[in-house]
Amino acid sequence: MSVQILDHQLEDYFNTAVELAKKAGQKIKEAFYKEKNVNTKQSAADLVTETDQAVEKMVQEIISQKYPTHKFIGEETVAVDGSSCTLTDDPTWIVDPIDGTTNFVHSIPEVSFSCGITVNKEVVIGVVYVPILDQMYTAKKGQGSFFNGQKLSVSSVTELKQAALIMEGGSSRDPDILKAKLDNLRNVLTASHGIRAYGSAAINLCKIASGICEGYVEYGIHCWDIAAGLLILQEAGGVVKDTTGEEVDIMRRRITGACSVNIVNQLVPLLTHLDMGRD
Could you give the string, one character per residue 32-71, with x where binding to a second copy holds by CB under 8 A and - elsewhere?
------------xx-x------------------------
Contacts of 26 (CB under 8 A, 6+ apart): 131
Q: Is the dihedral of CA 155, 159, 165, 170 positive or negative?
A: positive
134 is in an annotated binding site: no
Annotated catalytic, 101?
A: yes
Annotated catalytic, 225?
A: yes
Q: How far is the CB of 237 from a second copy (least distance, A)?
A: 15
Residue 150's SS3 state is strand
96 is in an annotated binding site: yes
Query: Do the Cβ atoms of 136 and 148 come closer than 8 Å?
Result: yes
**219 dihedral zone (left: phi>0; alpha: psi -120 to 50; beta):** beta
Q: CB 197: neighbour CB atoms within 10 A? A: 12
Contacts of 220 (CB under 8 A, 6+ apart): 170, 171, 172, 177, 253, 254, 274, 276
Quick one: which segment of 24-32, 188-196, 235-243, 260-268 binds a second copy (CB under 8 A)? Answer: 188-196
User: Does 193 sit near a second copy (CB under 8 A)?
Assistant: yes
98 is in an annotated binding site: yes
Annotated catalytic, 98?
A: yes
Could you give the string, one character per residue 74-113, with x where binding to a second copy holds by CB under 8 A and - elsewhere?
----------------------------xx-xxxxx----
75 is in an annotated binding site: yes
Q: How far is the CB of 100 from a second copy (least distance, A)?
A: 10
H-state helical runs in 40-162: 50-66, 75-81, 101-105
Q: How far apart are CA 256 and CA 273, in angstroms?
A: 11
Q: CB 32: neighbour CB atoms within 10 A? A: 18
Is 214 or 250 the residue whose CB approaches a second copy more closely?
Answer: 214
For strand 71-74 and strand 92-99, is the pairing parallel, antiparallel, or unpaired?
parallel
Could you give the string, one character per residue 147-186, with x where binding to a second copy holds by CB under 8 A and - elsewhere?
--------x-----x--x----xxx-x----xx--x--xx
Annotated catalytic, 90?
A: no
**Number of alpha carbons in the 13 Å side-chain half-sphere of residue 120:** 7
In the chain, the largest separation of any two C-alpha atoms, in whole Å, equals: 51
Size of the site for a second copy (CB under 8 A): 37
Catalytic residue among 52, 56, 75, 110: 75
Is 18 or 212 the residue whose CB approaches a second copy more closely?
Answer: 212
Catalytic residue among 52, 56, 96, 168: 96
Q: Is the dihedral of CA 35, 39, 41, 46 positive or negative?
A: positive
User: Does 29 sit near a second copy (CB under 8 A)?
Assistant: no
Q: How far apart are CA 242 and CA 232, in angstroms?
A: 16
Annotated catalytic, 49?
A: no
Q: Residues at the annotated binding site?
A: 75, 96, 98-99, 225
Q: Which residues bind a second copy (CB under 8 A)?
A: 44-45, 47, 102-103, 105-109, 155, 161, 164, 169-171, 173, 178-179, 182, 185-186, 189-190, 192-199, 207, 211-214
Q: Residues at the annotated binding site for Mg(2+)?
A: 75, 96, 98-99, 225
Residues belonging to the active site: 75, 96, 98-99, 101, 225
